């Protein structure tokens, strides 16, 4: 008679994407087994799937498995959504390699899948979570060991010739030039700057490093207007896709500075190598893999970009999208999340409150506010930031009367008329049966594609 085995599986990720770990707590009739592992660069969903794969693979094929997971993504994916994914040949499915592997290890087995609320004090789930974090810690330690070994191999200690000086060079008489080096460093620096620029830059003291630390491909424009007041930065990003949780990365950042509703002329613009293909997103922004291959990594530009942005009010259209990506990228680089050091204003939310029920894309707002047209065949971060600055000023500007009593009678009449119009009863138009069916189909397709229901279907 086959035995019954209970499994608790869980994944953990620090950064998502970032350092991750997986854990599987296996309880058999003979005892318990604790499995764990990790990856240096992964996502939470991939670790949840890996935990399930490793846990199932560990168990005998004829055992009855009762699996508990706190991931609806795993539970519903393997029991419901996977059938549709197979029919469309895994098109548009995230993590298809792991889903296919999980499907293969589960084939022919007697498995009962269950969902359990995470971090709710259940002993089995807590143990799986602990194992996942052990896996992440172990992976981090292994990564540090490998890096330390590689660094040691690169920087092998060289023999100090001063300890073995058969010719007595270390006893040579100090010359006047040597005395100048010791007593007048500023004059020597001037001479070296004129004659040997490369040597001076290499020998710059640490206190001057930040001046020369700006990557040559970071374009920072100095302000032409010196204004006093809170900084606002109109910002836009371009990315490899829509989902920072599944490994999409930033490929371009553009921001322009505004103080007291005036553009100062200061801006920052950077292209970034995402270390992954841009894919179909090239159709939106026109930035190719070939163009990005020689661009800096985010870690190389993170300090400069963070210093430029921090403390300012960030103004962005659909700011949640940009801030999620920026927070993720800065955390990966070992810096605080940008949202922790900046105030954020979302012009999309502002537009929706001013124009409910209307299209509020950047293009739609450009037409509505009659912003001068620009070529937007492709989206570009700096170009979109410039357009957004015009839209923001138009949306938040307009004439203001400082003398209420000076309002003309015609203006007061117009205000009364407007109020009357707002009070008109609007007809209610109900959707047809065909429209309802189309909506229901869309909701189901969204859930299959993203692994969870959309907000208004929950």
Q: Which residues are catalytic?
A: 379
Which uninterrupted H or E stretch holds 174? none
What are the residue ranges of helices labelled H in 296-431?
A: 298-309, 319-332, 347-354, 362-368, 381-396, 409-422
Q: Which residue has the tokens 């318990």?
A: 32
> Do 134 and 36 contact (CB within 8 A), yes or no?
yes
129 is in an annotated binding site: yes
> Do 297 and 275 contact (CB within 8 A), yes or no?
yes
70 is in an annotated binding site: yes
CA–CA dist 230, 247 (Å, integer) = 34
Going by DSSP bridges, is the β-strand pair 4-14/313-316 parallel, antiparallel, or unpaired? Answer: unpaired
Q: What is the DSSP letter of 120?
A: S
Q: Which of 92, 86, 26, 94 is nearest to 56 (CA)?
A: 26
CA–CA dist 115, 55 (Å, integer) = 16
CA–CA dist 397, 441 (Å, integer) = 42
Reported as half-sphere exposure (CB side, CA atoms, 13 A), residue 299 has a value of 4
Q: How many CB atoms lie within 10 A of CB 229?
A: 10
What are the residue ranges of helices labelled H in 112-168?
A: 123-154
- Where residue 246 falls (left for φ over 0; alpha for ψ -120 to 50; beta otherwise) is alpha
Buried b (16+ CB within 10 A) or exposed e, 351-370: beeeeeeeebebeebbebee
Annotated binding residues for Mg(2+), written as ranges, equal 10, 48, 70, 129
Cite the annotated binding site by residue number: 10, 48, 70, 129
């Amino acid at each position: 008679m086959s035995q019954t085995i209970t499994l608790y599986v869980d994944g953990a990720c620090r950064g998502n994407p970032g350092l991750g770990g997986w854990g599987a707590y296996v309880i058999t009739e003979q005892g318990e087994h604790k499995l764990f592992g990790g990856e240096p660069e992964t996502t939470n969903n991939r670790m949840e799937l890996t935990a399930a794969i490793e846990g199932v693979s560990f168990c005998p094929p004829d055992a009855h498995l009762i699996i508990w997971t706190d991931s609806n993504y795993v539970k519903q994916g393997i029991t419901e959504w996977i059938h549709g994914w197979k029919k469309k040949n895994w098109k548009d499915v995230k993590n298809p390699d792991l889903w296919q592997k999980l499907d293969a290890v589960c084939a022919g087995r007697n498995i009962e899948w269950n969902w359990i609320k995470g971090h709710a004090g259940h002993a089995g789930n807590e143990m799986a979570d602990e194992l996942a974090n052990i896996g992440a810690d172990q992976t981090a330690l292994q990564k540090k060991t490998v890096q330390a070994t590689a660094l040691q191999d690169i920087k092998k200690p060289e023999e100090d010739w001063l300890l073995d000086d058969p010719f007595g060079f270390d006893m040579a008489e100090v010359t006047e030039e040597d005395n100048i080096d010791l007593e007048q460093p500023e004059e020597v620096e001037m001479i070296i700057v004129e004659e040997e620029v490369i040597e001076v830059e290499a020998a710059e003291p640490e206190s001057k490093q930040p001046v020369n630390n700006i990557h040559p491909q970071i374009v920072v424009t100095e302000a032409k207007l010196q204004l006093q007041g809170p900084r606002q930065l109109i910002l836009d990003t371009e990315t490899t896709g829509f989902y920072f949780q599944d490994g999409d990365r930033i490929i371009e950042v553009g921001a322009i500075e505004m103080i007291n509703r005036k553009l100062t002329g200061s801006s920052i613009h950077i292209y970034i190598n995402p270390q992954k293909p841009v894919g179909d997103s090239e159709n939106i922004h026109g930035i190719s893999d070939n163009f990005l291959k020689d661009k800096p990594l985010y870690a190389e530009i993170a300090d400069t970009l963070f210093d430029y942005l921090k403390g300012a009010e960030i103004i962005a259209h659909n700011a949640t999208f940009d801030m999620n990506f920026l927070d993720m990228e800065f955390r990966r680089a070992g810096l605080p999340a940008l949202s922790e050091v900046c105030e954020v204003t979302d012009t999309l939310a502002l537009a929706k409150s001013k124009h409910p029920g209307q299209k509020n894309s950047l293009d739609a707002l450009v037409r509505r506010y009659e912003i001068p047209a620009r070529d937007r065949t492709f989206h570009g971060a700096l170009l979109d930031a410039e357009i957004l600055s015009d839209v923001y000023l138009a949306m938040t500007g307009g004439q203001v009367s400082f003398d209420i009593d000076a309002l003309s009678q015609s203006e007061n009449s117009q205000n009364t008329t407007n109020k009357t119009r707002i009070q008109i009863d609007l007809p209610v138009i109900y959707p047809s049966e065909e429209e309802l069916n189309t909506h229901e189909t869309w909701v189901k397709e969204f859930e299959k594609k993203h692994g969870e229901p959309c907000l208004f279907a929950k």
